[in-house]
Structure 1
Amino acid sequence: MFIHIGNDSIIQSDDIISIIDRNVAMSSSIMEEMLVNTGIKQHVFNAADDVKSVVITEDDIYCSSLSVATLKKRSGMTLSTSTLEDFSNELEE
Protein backbone atom coordinates (compact mmCIF):
# COMPACT_ATOMS: atom_id res chain seq x y z
CA MET A 1 0.00 0.00 0.00
CA PHE A 2 1.06 3.57 -0.62
CA ILE A 3 0.41 6.70 1.43
CA HIS A 4 0.47 10.25 0.10
CA ILE A 5 2.37 12.22 2.76
CA GLY A 6 2.02 15.64 1.17
CA ASN A 7 4.49 17.74 -0.81
CA ASP A 8 3.99 15.49 -3.87
CA SER A 9 5.51 12.52 -2.01
CA ILE A 10 4.11 9.01 -1.96
CA ILE A 11 5.79 6.24 0.00
CA GLN A 12 5.07 2.60 0.71
CA SER A 13 3.35 2.15 4.04
CA ASP A 14 5.52 -0.92 4.77
CA ASP A 15 8.62 1.30 4.67
CA ILE A 16 7.40 3.61 7.45
CA ILE A 17 9.14 3.14 10.77
CA SER A 18 7.68 6.13 12.58
CA ILE A 19 5.64 9.31 12.12
CA ILE A 20 6.57 11.99 14.63
CA ASP A 21 5.17 15.46 15.31
CA ARG A 22 7.62 18.10 14.09
CA ASN A 23 7.79 19.87 17.47
CA VAL A 24 8.72 16.64 19.21
CA ALA A 25 11.31 15.69 16.59
CA MET A 26 13.00 19.09 16.57
CA SER A 27 13.11 19.46 20.35
CA SER A 28 14.82 16.13 20.94
CA SER A 29 18.59 16.04 21.25
CA ILE A 30 18.40 12.26 20.86
CA MET A 31 16.72 12.68 17.45
CA GLU A 32 19.41 15.12 16.32
CA GLU A 33 22.12 12.72 17.49
CA MET A 34 20.47 9.85 15.61
CA LEU A 35 20.42 11.88 12.40
CA VAL A 36 24.06 12.84 12.70
CA ASN A 37 25.34 9.39 13.70
CA THR A 38 23.48 7.43 11.03
CA GLY A 39 24.29 9.85 8.23
CA ILE A 40 20.61 9.89 7.31
CA LYS A 41 20.59 13.69 7.56
CA GLN A 42 21.75 13.74 3.95
CA HIS A 43 18.52 11.96 2.96
CA VAL A 44 15.98 14.46 4.31
CA PHE A 45 13.28 15.31 1.76
CA ASN A 46 10.78 18.17 1.55
CA ALA A 47 12.30 20.29 4.31
CA ALA A 48 10.31 23.55 4.35
CA ASP A 49 8.80 26.08 6.72
CA ASP A 50 5.35 24.45 6.81
CA VAL A 51 6.49 21.09 8.21
CA LYS A 52 4.00 19.53 10.64
CA SER A 53 5.33 15.97 10.89
CA VAL A 54 8.39 13.87 10.18
CA VAL A 55 8.07 10.46 8.51
CA ILE A 56 10.99 8.13 9.14
CA THR A 57 11.76 5.18 6.88
CA GLU A 58 14.75 2.85 6.96
CA ASP A 59 16.67 4.86 4.38
CA ASP A 60 15.13 8.33 4.35
CA ILE A 61 13.35 10.99 6.36
CA TYR A 62 10.46 12.97 4.88
CA CYS A 63 9.18 16.27 6.20
CA SER A 64 5.43 16.46 5.66
CA SER A 65 3.10 19.45 5.59
CA LEU A 66 0.37 17.13 6.92
CA SER A 67 -0.23 16.53 10.62
CA VAL A 68 0.35 13.21 12.35
CA ALA A 69 -3.43 12.82 12.78
CA THR A 70 -4.03 13.30 9.05
CA LEU A 71 -1.36 10.76 8.13
CA LYS A 72 -2.86 8.32 10.64
CA LYS A 73 -6.29 8.75 9.05
CA ARG A 74 -4.84 8.19 5.59
CA SER A 75 -3.21 4.96 6.68
CA GLY A 76 -6.57 3.92 8.19
CA MET A 77 -8.32 4.63 4.91
CA THR A 78 -5.94 2.23 3.25
CA LEU A 79 -7.08 -0.51 5.62
CA SER A 80 -10.74 0.29 4.92
CA THR A 81 -10.15 0.01 1.18
CA SER A 82 -8.63 -3.43 1.62
CA THR A 83 -11.64 -4.54 3.67
CA LEU A 84 -14.05 -3.28 1.01
CA GLU A 85 -12.20 -5.15 -1.71
CA ASP A 86 -12.41 -8.37 0.30
CA PHE A 87 -16.13 -7.84 0.91
CA SER A 88 -16.85 -7.20 -2.77
CA ASN A 89 -15.23 -10.51 -3.67
CA GLU A 90 -17.66 -12.32 -1.35
CA LEU A 91 -20.65 -10.68 -3.07
CA GLU A 92 -19.63 -12.13 -6.44
CA GLU A 93 -19.86 -15.74 -5.22
Structure 2
Amino acid sequence: MYIHVGDDVMIRSSEIIAILEKDTVHSSDEIKHFLAENEKAVVHLSNGNFKSMIITNPHVYLSPIAPGTLKKRLLTPESDVEIDD
Protein backbone atom coordinates (compact mmCIF):
# COMPACT_ATOMS: atom_id res chain seq x y z
CA MET A 1 0.00 0.00 0.00
CA TYR A 2 1.17 3.53 -0.76
CA ILE A 3 0.47 6.69 1.21
CA HIS A 4 0.43 10.27 -0.05
CA VAL A 5 2.75 12.37 2.15
CA GLY A 6 2.49 15.72 0.34
CA ASP A 7 3.57 17.47 -2.85
CA ASP A 8 2.49 14.57 -5.09
CA VAL A 9 4.87 12.18 -3.27
CA MET A 10 3.69 8.66 -2.55
CA ILE A 11 5.72 6.26 -0.41
CA ARG A 12 5.25 2.60 0.36
CA SER A 13 3.73 2.23 3.82
CA SER A 14 6.05 -0.69 4.60
CA GLU A 15 9.05 1.68 4.24
CA ILE A 16 7.88 4.00 7.03
CA ILE A 17 10.01 3.72 10.14
CA ALA A 18 8.47 6.61 12.11
CA ILE A 19 6.14 9.57 11.81
CA LEU A 20 6.97 12.40 14.22
CA GLU A 21 5.12 15.61 15.09
CA LYS A 22 6.71 18.98 14.36
CA ASP A 23 6.91 19.80 18.09
CA THR A 24 8.84 16.61 18.76
CA VAL A 25 11.30 17.40 15.99
CA HIS A 26 11.93 20.92 17.30
CA SER A 27 12.26 19.91 20.97
CA SER A 28 14.62 16.94 20.64
CA ASP A 29 18.37 17.42 20.42
CA GLU A 30 18.76 13.83 19.19
CA ILE A 31 16.41 14.43 16.27
CA LYS A 32 18.16 17.69 15.41
CA HIS A 33 21.46 15.79 15.40
CA PHE A 34 19.88 13.04 13.25
CA LEU A 35 18.69 15.64 10.72
CA ALA A 36 22.11 17.29 10.61
CA GLU A 37 23.80 13.90 10.05
CA ASN A 38 21.31 12.98 7.30
CA GLU A 39 20.93 16.39 5.67
CA LYS A 40 21.31 14.98 2.13
CA ALA A 41 18.45 12.53 2.72
CA VAL A 42 15.94 15.22 3.81
CA VAL A 43 13.16 15.91 1.32
CA HIS A 44 11.22 19.13 1.97
CA LEU A 45 7.62 18.72 0.86
CA SER A 46 6.43 22.02 2.30
CA ASN A 47 7.56 25.61 2.12
CA GLY A 48 9.55 25.38 5.33
CA ASN A 49 6.43 24.98 7.47
CA PHE A 50 6.12 21.24 7.98
CA LYS A 51 3.69 19.45 10.31
CA SER A 52 5.31 16.03 10.41
CA MET A 53 8.56 14.22 9.77
CA ILE A 54 8.36 10.82 8.08
CA ILE A 55 11.46 8.67 8.43
CA THR A 56 12.02 5.97 5.81
CA ASN A 57 15.06 4.26 4.45
CA PRO A 58 16.72 6.13 2.71
CA HIS A 59 14.79 9.42 3.01
CA VAL A 60 13.43 11.76 5.67
CA TYR A 61 10.36 13.66 4.49
CA LEU A 62 9.24 16.96 6.03
CA SER A 63 5.54 16.94 5.22
CA PRO A 64 2.81 19.59 5.36
CA ILE A 65 0.34 16.86 6.36
CA ALA A 66 -0.48 16.42 10.05
CA PRO A 67 0.61 13.16 11.73
CA GLY A 68 -3.00 12.34 12.64
CA THR A 69 -4.05 12.56 9.00
CA LEU A 70 -1.17 10.31 7.96
CA LYS A 71 -2.18 7.82 10.64
CA LYS A 72 -5.76 7.75 9.32
CA ARG A 73 -4.45 7.10 5.82
CA LEU A 74 -2.39 4.21 7.12
CA LEU A 75 -5.33 2.67 8.97
CA THR A 76 -7.65 2.17 6.00
CA PRO A 77 -9.48 -1.19 5.94
CA GLU A 78 -7.21 -2.57 3.18
CA SER A 79 -4.06 -1.68 5.13
CA ASP A 80 -1.82 -4.32 6.68
CA VAL A 81 0.04 -1.74 8.80
CA GLU A 82 0.32 -2.04 12.58
CA ILE A 83 0.79 1.22 14.48
CA ASP A 84 2.54 1.51 17.82
CA ASP A 85 1.37 4.79 19.45
Smaller-chain TM-score range? 0.7 to 0.9
Report 1:1-93 matches (<5 A): 1-37=1-37, 40-45=38-43, 46-77=45-76, 80-81=77-78
State the alpha-carbon separation in 1 of the partners of residues 60 and 26 from structure 2: 13
| Root mean square deviation, CA, Å | 1.7
State the alpha-carbon separation in 1 of the partners of residues 24 and 79 from structure 2: 32
- SS of the equivalent of 2:75 reads helix
8 A contact 2:46–2:64 mirrored in 1: no
What residue ranges of structure 1 are gaps of 5+ in the alignment?
Answer: 84-93
Given the two structures, how large is their TM-score scaled by the length of structure 2?
0.82
Superposed CA deviations along residues 32-62 of structure 1, whole A, max 9, x for unmatched, are: 112334xx21111125233100000121100
Higher Cα radius of gyration: 1
State the alpha-carbon separation in 2 of the partners of residues 23 and 42 from structure 1: 22
Query: Which letter maps to 2:40?
Result: Q
Given the two structures, how large is their TM-score scaled by the length of structure 1?
0.75
What residue ranges of structure 2 are gaps of 5+ in the alignment?
Answer: 81-85
Following TM superposition, where does structure 1 have runs of at least 4 consecutive aligned residues deviating by more than 6 angstroms?
A: none
More helix by share: 1
How many residue pairs get aligned? The number is 79
